[in-house]
Amino acid sequence: MISVKTALDIISEFPDTYLFEEVSLNEALNLVLCEDVFSPLNMPPFRQSAMDGYAFRYSDKDTYSIVGESKAGDSNNYVLKEGEAVRIFTGALVPDNADTVIMQEHVERVGETIHIQKMPSQCANIRKTGEQIKTMDIALKKDTKLNEAAIGFLACLGITTVTVYKIPKVGILVTGSELQKPGSELEQGKIYESNSIMLEAALRKTGVKDIEIIRVKDDYDATKTSIEKVLNTKDLLLVSGGISVGDYDFVKEALLENEVEELFYKINQKPGKPLWFGRKENTYVFALPGNPASALTCFYIYALPLLRKMSGYKNNQLKRVIANSKTTIKNPSGKTLFLKANLEGTTVEVLQGQSSAMLYTYALSNALICVDSETAEVKINDEVECIKLEL
Ligand code: AMP
Ligand code: MG
């Protein structure tokens, strides 16, 4: 049995190679660039007016005659003589030999003549070519997570696809002969299967789109065949249940038979002691304990950071904060505890009902208190570490 820290250290060594893919920009939200993106053009690509007004050659005259019009999208490039101006609008091409734009509020127009009432400084109100970015400059750096602004920015450079860290494809293998899919009347001796939909929801929140759920009974052959299928098609496998030491727990054996290398098994923690982690080539496997609260805790603490790292994200652990405990916590077990809790400001309260079979408490909690294996007791008002359940 290893410590929580050792388990996290082992996981943090992976992935050792990343998978990339090219996606169109409209599918790139929240994905992470795996290479620098260079600008294919100057932005703006030409000198643009920043105002509705008049473009002219700066001089000490205060009267100019209007010789043409340049509206957004026009390609006309007027050649102005001294004393001439062009009616111009925001975003329109500024004639090459005009150097200044005056906003329309600062002139008096009489017919085809303008009288300047408030002279701007020379070069005012013109967006210079390449003022935002120049051709072949880095537009966005490797490891940038693309938000909506970044996507808009790349689009304004004419970019339509980007190469990003591939979001893992995930298989969820649910084991258990007692499990029944919700939707029909519950049979004697069975319970409704809840881990798959719960893990699927958590995965979706993390940005995973490709999720396949497979359900098997506690049957060695079916487990083995299903694992083989997922290993061939997915980047991450989450197995639920069947990883303890019961006579009908076949998952570990089936994983090893599929040549998945064991990286650790069993952590000194509560809940979630029988967590198993392994890999086969570029596919990683977490065999999560079947008890729903254990499965979810193991997902948050161990699977999520790896998943996020594979996706190119930088801050992969759930956020931890320190708060004062409103409750006394006893920890005679010498294990690290993850307790479902309610965090409010700087105080945190352990909730009733910590059994790993219960999801009810989890549904009401917004944090896990992490009590270190060395800490035998937390007194009221002591500082404790809290893991915020915000994905
Ligand atoms: P196991 O880890 O397979 O020994 O399962 C531990 C406990 O969790 C048992 O009481 C199972 O019935 C329950 N359990 C396992 N898998 C699920 C699941 N997918 N949904 C709900 N409960 C489950
Ligand atoms: Mg089971």
Indicate if ligand 1 lies below 6 Å from the C-beta of 244: yes
Query: Looking at residue 183, what is its pLDDT?
Result: 97
Report CA(294)–ligand 2 centroid distance (Å).
Answer: 13
Other C-beta atoms closer than 10 Å to the C-beta of 62 total 11
What does DSSP assign to residue 256?
H
SS3 44: coil
Q: Tokens representing 174?
A: 């649910």
138 burial level (CB within 10 Å; 0-12, 13-18, 19+) = exposed
Ligand that lies nearest to the alpha carbon of residue 244, given by its number in the listed order:
1
Residue pLDDT, tens place only, 156-205: 999 999 999 999 999 999 999 999 999 999 999 999 999 999 999 999 99
Indicate if ligand 1 lies below 6 Å from the C-beta of 180: no
pLDDT exceeds 90 at position 317: yes
User: Nearest residue CA, atom 14 of ligand 1?
Assistant: 290
Ligand that lies nearest to the alpha carbon of residue 295, given by its number in the listed order:
1
End-to-end Cα separation, the chain, in angstroms:
29
Around 252, how many Cα atoms within 13 Å sit in the side-chain half-sphere?
17
At residue 157, φ and ψ (nearest 5 deg) are -90, 5
**CA 291 to ligand 1: nearest atom:** 8
Distance of CA 361 to the CA centre of its chain: 27
* Strand-pair partners of 69: 87
Report CA(302)–ligand 1 centroid distance (Å).
Answer: 19
Residue pLDDT, tens place only, 90-115: 999 999 999 999 999 999 999 999 99
Indicate if ligand 1 lies below 6 Å from the C-beta of 176: yes
Indicate the pLDDT class of residue 315, thresholds 50, 70 and 90: confident
The identity of residue 307, as a single letter, is L
**CA 194 to ligand 1: nearest atom:** 20
- Closest CA relative to residue 384, chosen from 333, 350, 355: 350
What does DSSP assign to residue 185?
P
Q: Tokens representing 30?
A: 């929240």
The residues whose Cβ lies within 5 A of ligand 2, an ion, are 176, 241-242, 290
Q: Is 176 left (phi over 0), alpha (psi -120 to 50) or beta?
A: left
At residue 195, φ and ψ (nearest 5 deg) are -65, -35
The whole-chain average pLDDT of the chain stands at 97
Indicate if ligand 1 lies below 6 Å from the C-beta of 193: yes
Ligand that lies nearest to the alpha carbon of residue 294, given by its number in the listed order:
1
Q: Are 263 and 279 in contact (CB under 8 A)?
A: yes
Ligand that lies nearest to the alpha carbon of residue 272, given by its number in the listed order:
1
Other C-beta atoms closer than 10 Å to the C-beta of 88 total 31
Q: Tokens representing 310?
A: 């594979």
Query: Looking at residue 228, what is its pLDDT?
Result: 98
User: Nearest residue CA, atom 16 of ligand 1?
Assistant: 290
Select from 180, 190, 195 the residue to mutate for testing ligand 1; criterion: most ligand atoms less than 8 Å from CB. Answer: 195
Q: Tokens representing 337?
A: 């505890």
Ligand that lies nearest to the alpha carbon of residue 241, given by its number in the listed order:
1
Query: Looking at residue 76, what is its pLDDT?
Result: 92
113, 144, 255 from 265: Cα distances, Å: 84, 34, 12
pLDDT exceeds 90 at position 316: yes
User: Span 362-390, mean pLDDT?
Assistant: 98
Q: Are 188 and 229 in contact (CB under 8 A)?
A: no
Indicate if ligand 1 lies below 6 Å from the C-beta of 194: yes
Query: Looking at residue 235, what is its pLDDT?
Result: 98
The identity of residue 367, as a single letter, is A
The residue length of the chain stands at 391
User: Nearest residue CA, atom 12 of ligand 1?
Assistant: 178
Q: Are 384 and 378 in contact (CB under 8 A)?
A: yes
Indicate if ligand 1 lies below 6 Å from the C-beta of 1: no
Rounded CA-CA distance 166/260 in Å is 22
Report CA(249)–ligand 2 centroid distance (Å).
Answer: 6
Residue pLDDT, tens place only, 24-72: 999 999 999 999 999 999 999 999 999 999 999 999 999 999 999 999 9
User: Nearest residue CA, atom 8 of ligand 1?
Assistant: 291
Q: Are 258 and 237 in contact (CB under 8 A)?
A: no
Rounded CA-CA distance 149/128 in Å is 22
Q: What percent of the chain has pLDDT over 70?
A: 100
Residues 6+ apart with CB under 8 A from 59: 82, 83
Q: Are 387 and 367 in contact (CB under 8 A)?
A: yes
